[in-house]
Amino acid sequence: MPLPTPASEPSITTDPVLIFDSGVGGLSVVRALRAQLPGVPLAYVCDNAALPYGTKADDWLVARIVAVCAAAVAASGARALVVACNTASTLALEALRDRLAIPVVGTVPAIKPAAALSHSGVIGLLATSATVCRPYTDRLIADFAAGRTVVRVAADTLVAQAERLIAGEPVDPAALDRGLAPLWANPALDTVVLGCTHFPLLEGVLAERAPRPVQWVDSGAAIARRVAQVLDPLPPADAQADDPAWATGPVSPGLTRGFAGFGFGAPGLLVL
């Protein structure tokens, strides 16, 4: 697979942290990074031309993820890469670390903190089908939620709802309800792991649709803490107005507005 090359040239931030996701889900990690590491320069790349990842073959995805990330690292001059996608992290971290000469930080569902927070011992894992059924997720539950009841819910349709929300389009309440419904079958469930980085973007509307209060837990804060360790000492703050971003597919006005809301300039096109 040929490496992508940028068709347009966003303004490059010096030595940024590059966040990668299949779509806009990594913006939830951006939010945590900006809260915990204010002033640290960031860059973003989304592989929206291949969205959703959950329907693609694993071997194809690994090659694709490595190609897109390698090109974006070269274009941005990144000093670290955050793979802000659970599917990509479970598949391609080793390949990315073999290919790239910079630190690579992955994403895993927040099973451990959720298990510690739950009072009832019943937690939900709301994720994509690719994450819910992976052996990696089985190991996380065995290691950190032994003795707990974990209700696994594949809610792939919520990814599209998060994309709509970021683009400024209305979400579908019926789709939200269908995605959440399996969680409420167990009345003792009191904590929900948002196991896809798209889902924290929806937390407000998900909480509104929930029939009772629950704790919503995601990985953003833990990722930000890990990035701080990787960057120690932290780079100086960059004074430029907008951080750079790229997309592999069409850049709609809604996508541009959504990125602007998280401090990024209009995404440039990364062409395969």
The residues carrying an active-site annotation are: 85, 196
Strand pairing class (42-46; 17-21)? parallel
Which stretches does DSSP call E strand in 128-230?
149-154, 191-194, 215-217
List CB contacts of 84: < 8 A, sequence separation 6 or more: 19, 20, 21, 25, 26, 28, 29, 30, 107, 197, 223
Do residues 215 and 192 lie in contact, with contact meaning Cβ atoms separated by under 8 Å?
Answer: yes
**Strand arrangement, sheet containing 149-154:** 149-154, 122-127, 191-194, 215-217
The tokens for 18 are 């590059």
Do residues 42 and 30 lie in contact, with contact meaning Cβ atoms separated by under 8 Å?
Answer: yes
Do residues 267 and 246 lie in contact, with contact meaning Cβ atoms separated by under 8 Å?
Answer: yes
Taken in order 7, 11, 13, 16, the sign of the CA dihedral is: negative
The tokens for 198 are 């798209």
The tokens for 172 are 């579908």
d(CA 247, CA 239): 24
